[in-house]
Structure 1
């Protein structure tokens, strides 16, 4: 059973957008260390490879889970609304549908741009040109290999305060050359994450069970059933794991073992702390040992339950499972690798710590209280550079989008 099933429908409607935003912030953690190791151009190439390697797989999974499979522009837009690459409001996509094969979108607010603009025009071009061009098409390939996403305008912004931040056309045409998935994507299709089977959505549950109806201006999380939201939460966590696995492949081919482990761990520590803080705040969990255990139970590090073998009952017990076989985040935790777990519990309360016993893949963690607060990990502070760390979601009214 999913660990998210223990939450109420209202709690899930609050948490799922948080999980989407957390997925976006993985790069705010990981790419900082890639810049140091590989430079700006090397960082950009890692980003291209990770998104191209993961997004076609998880996009297709979400289509199947929520029954909106298709080959048209509407299907592409629905997928973007449930993609960690485009978390709601932080990446404020606004959609226009002309017909099945023609559409546009623009971003009224791009949180990623707000993070990168202070770094200078070269970094903006790396993100908005070098990275976006191949990765947008790679995302679309999950729906139609002859889809092309092309800019009407994009940053660097001229004038400097230009709004919307960018605008793009989406056109599907049989005359366009077919786009093929990357070698990394093909390799990741055999990963345990890609093959993880989750419980189907219960159609008898109160609320909307799928997204087969009209495209909405904003995905209305509160309209969906408890069962659907549980499935979405688990799928979003798998998106994160697949993105991380593609990231690790890209880093691995550029490093030796020690540097690979260093970058992989720093990325995890940074996102682990920020994710824990956002989960705890969103669900208003207590700042004590019980609250820290609950945050661990709901953290993407340990979800979905079908992928990460663990139990939480007064303490966290982890055993060998599919995620270990993939070399996923949980493989970077254990008796001799405390930093990611410490980042999680200290985000709840800096006086908290973990004591871990056991072997590399089968271990138990107890949350304990220290007499002196621990400083925030440097990796978490680096990730906090992103405006996404403090971003606040606002209430939105969702309306159907019709052909114009």
Structure 2
């Protein structure tokens, strides 16, 4: 049973885009520490390997879950690719404001009217912008397309550094599927990640009799209206988005293990986790109006991606994968505490019953301390992102037809 099944349909429609944005902010946490310890060039290589070893897996998972997988595996069209981007933590709605044009099944374009990632990186200077918008995007866009059609190529029309400085849209790209294109191939780490429990986890099927849309098999729309999905579909989407985060973190770990000793890998992973735990908790709590007390903290822990999906975490599969929860336990509760302290700095957590490496939600107790905890430096790093306070707006969901 999914822990998200306890939420109403309206709550889930609010939560799902929040989870997508939380997933995007993972790199605002992890990559900052990679730059500090390994330098900018190594950070770029890690980011490329991280996304290329995760996005093809979770993109296929979402295609299957929501019924828009191509009839012939690996022969999806541009609509298949664009639907995948709309449900990808690499492209959370509005924060990464993708606008799509479909010319025909094999030709399309997209532009970003707003790129939150660019807003975060642009103040750091043109070298960092080029690193993200050229060095990282070139291989990772094609890697994402592998999940739909290895003959797809994503190529820039224009992209940052912006000239002039206020150029809009922030970037624009073509997507072309052509049988003459060489097949895009996955990196070696992709096969390693594909063998994880997160990649192959079976989740409960969507109940097609539930009120609302049970899939995304219809036309591509300009902006997904999450409220149009059924409660059952939204529960599945929420669990899938959490698995996206775990797959991304697993790919991050694989990239680190190639470069770093075990102690450094552990330190960088924990720094990444504390940052995203705290900022993710802030956004989820604000979106759902969670109370700032012990009961609220327990609810927030139950909804946080660190401890979801329940079918992954509570079964021990997440521990076997070395997922986020495996980093936590009686001797190290910083990430769990960061979640509770997003509500009130006086709150803390204790883990008394779990052995190291076997923590579950029921093992975590929320307590109140007389003195407030200071904000953790890992959380402060992520709060630098404009995604921390980004506000979603209501939009009309319109079908996109070929032009």
- Map Cα deviations across residues 344-401 of structure 1 (whole Å, 9 max, x no partner): 1101111101122131034522100111111110000001110001100000111000
Identify the residue that residue 7 of structure 2 maps to in structure 1: 7
Matches within 5 A, 1:113-132: 113-132=118-137
Per the normalisation by structure 2, the TM-score is 0.97
In the alignment, the residues of structure 1 paired with residue 48 and residue 37 of structure 2 have an alpha-carbon distance, to the nearest angstrom, of 16
Identify the residue that residue 367 of structure 2 maps to in structure 1: 368
- Map Cα deviations across residues 161-213 of structure 1 (whole Å, 9 max, x no partner): 00000000000000011101111111111101001100000000000000000
Matches within 5 A, 1:223-262: 223-262=228-267
Question: Is 1:201 equivalent to 2:206 in the alignment?
Answer: yes
- Map Cα deviations across residues 59-83 of structure 1 (whole Å, 9 max, x no partner): 0000000000121000000000000
In the alignment, the residues of structure 1 paired with residue 154 and residue 161 of structure 2 have an alpha-carbon distance, to the nearest angstrom, of 18
In the alignment, the residues of structure 2 paired with residue 39 and residue 277 of structure 1 have an alpha-carbon distance, to the nearest angstrom, of 29
Matches within 5 A, 1:65-84: 65-70=65-70, 71-84=76-89
SS at match of 2:102: strand
Identify the residue that residue 344 of structure 1 maps to in structure 2: 339
SS at match of 2:154: strand
Identify the residue that residue 186 of structure 2 maps to in structure 1: 181
Identify the residue that residue 20 of structure 2 maps to in structure 1: 20
Q: Offset at 1:253? A: 1.1
Identify the residue that residue 73 of structure 2 maps to in structure 1: none
In the alignment, the residues of structure 1 paired with residue 349 and residue 32 of structure 2 have an alpha-carbon distance, to the nearest angstrom, of 27
Q: Offset at 1:258? A: 1.1
Q: Offset at 1:148? A: 0.2
In the alignment, the residues of structure 2 paired with residue 151 and residue 394 of structure 1 have an alpha-carbon distance, to the nearest angstrom, of 28
Identify the residue that residue 34 of structure 1 maps to in structure 2: 34
- Map Cα deviations across residues 113-164 of structure 1 (whole Å, 9 max, x no partner): 0000000000000000000000000000100000000000000000000000
For structure 1, list consecutive stretches of 5 or more residues without a partner in the other structure: 310-319
In the alignment, the residues of structure 1 paired with residue 53 and residue 19 of structure 2 have an alpha-carbon distance, to the nearest angstrom, of 20
Question: Is 1:46 equivalent to 2:35 in the alignment?
Answer: no
Identify the residue that residue 165 of structure 2 maps to in structure 1: 160
In the alignment, the residues of structure 2 paired with residue 243 and residue 362 of structure 1 have an alpha-carbon distance, to the nearest angstrom, of 21
In the alignment, the residues of structure 1 paired with residue 279 and residue 216 of structure 2 have an alpha-carbon distance, to the nearest angstrom, of 30
CA contact (8 A) 2:326 2:358 kept: no
Q: Structure 2 residue aligned with 1:290, among 288, 292, 295?
A: 295
In the alignment, the residues of structure 1 paired with residue 95 and residue 364 of structure 2 have an alpha-carbon distance, to the nearest angstrom, of 34
Identify the residue that residue 59 of structure 1 maps to in structure 2: 59
Identify the residue that residue 316 of structure 1 maps to in structure 2: none
Q: Offset at 1:42? A: 0.5
Stretch deviating more after TM superposition (339-348 or 350-359): 350-359
In the alignment, the residues of structure 2 paired with residue 74 and residue 238 of structure 1 have an alpha-carbon distance, to the nearest angstrom, of 23
In the alignment, the residues of structure 2 paired with residue 195 and residue 31 of structure 1 have an alpha-carbon distance, to the nearest angstrom, of 27
For structure 2, list consecutive stretches of 5 or more residues without a partner in the other structure: 71-75
- Map Cα deviations across residues 203-254 of structure 1 (whole Å, 9 max, x no partner): 0000000000000000110000000000000000000000000001111111
SS at match of 2:209: coil
Identify the residue that residue 305 of structure 1 maps to in structure 2: 310
Q: Offset at 1:37? A: 1.5
Per the normalisation by structure 1, the TM-score is 0.97
CA contact (8 A) 2:65 2:205 kept: yes
SS at match of 1:279: helix
